[in-house]
Amino acid sequence: VSGFAPGQDRWIAGLGRVRDLVRQTLVARQLAEHLQPGLEVLDVGCGQGTQAIALARDGHSVTGVDASAEMLAEAERAAAAEPDEVRARLRFEQGDALARRDGPHDLVCCHGVAMYLPAIQPLAAALVSAVRPGGLVSLLTRNRAGIAMRAGMQGDWAAALDGFDATRYTNRLGVEDARADDPEAVRSALAAAGAQTVAWYGVRLFCDHWSNSEAPDDVAALLAAEEQAGRRDPYRGLAALTHTIAAAR
């Protein structure tokens, strides 16, 4: 059973709400800046298929892989609502994120999965093994600095104090013992696996401590502010998530 399984129902309930919206929108925008047209994409831990479907809409051919049959069923349901030409560019299959895949993909995505796995290095190695030389890996991880940051912004001082030196945390989905990585450690793991970071972003700084029921009046303005924070120091280093894009040698 994946470490994600206890949080699955809450994750599905939060889809499309403000925290998910910020995350999915910024990841898609950041990724799009690095892509050529017509890529072969592997989305590892694709879940409900948000990014896989967005990439297929943009003309890429996408295989989504996930450990959970329920999450794959969500992805199939969402894909079924797409036009035929988009559906034709999508396929979903069950599989493990850590499996080595010697496939010449142009882009391998793995968003929001590393926190449910024991360590970053084996994941980085598996992802890089699936990408062609010169192809890209897009990895979204939980930022270790975000543990104390979120607790502090919520006014939970005891959790903030514990969070400064923590690498594990109980996440908003109720998953205990989720794991967080320093952005530098992600870049090192990718480099050791043979992929050099070309860009990295923070995702969700200003609204990370909100409850999902807090929808701002002006979502576009929130997205614009979050996007700027995610692109520059020192803000990106404190965001909840780190989006790293690396090119394979």
Ligand X SMILES: C[S@@+](CC[C@H](N)C(=O)[O-])C[C@H]1O[C@@H](n2cnc3c(N)ncnc32)[C@H](O)[C@@H]1O
Which residues in this chain contact ligand X in the complex, by CB under 6 A? 2, 4, 11, 45-47, 50-51, 66-68, 71, 96-97, 111-113, 116-117
Phi, psi of 32 (to 5 degrees): -60, -30
**CA separation for the pair 230, 217 (Å, rounded):** 21
- Closer CB to ligand X, residue 62 or residue 86? 62
- Asked if residues 122 and 135 have their Cβ atoms less than 8 Å apart, the reply is no
Nearest residue to 21 (alpha-carbon basis) of 225, 219, 171, 228: 219
C-alpha 130/C-alpha 41 separation (Å) is 10
Query: Which residue number, 113 or 205, has a Cβ lying nearer to ligand X?
Result: 113
Q: Which is nearer to ligand X, 21 or 67 (CB)?
A: 67
Q: Which is nearer to ligand X, 3 or 152 (CB)?
A: 3
Minimum distance of ligand X from residue 98's CB (angstroms) = 6
Q: How far is the CB of 230 from ligand X (least distance, A)?
A: 16
In this chain, which residue has its C-beta nearest to ligand X?
A: 47
- For residue 204, the minimal CB distance to ligand X (Å) is 12
Round to the nearest angstrom and report the end-to-end CA distance of the chain. 33
What CA–CA distance (Å, rounded) separates 205 from 180? 15
| CA 209, 219, 204, 7 torsion-angle sign | positive
In the complex, minimum distance from the CB of residue 71 to ligand X, in angstroms, rounded to a whole number: 4
> Considering the complex, what minimum distance in angstroms separates the CB of residue 190 from ligand X?
18
Q: Select 99 or 219, whichever has its Cβ closest to ligand X.
A: 99
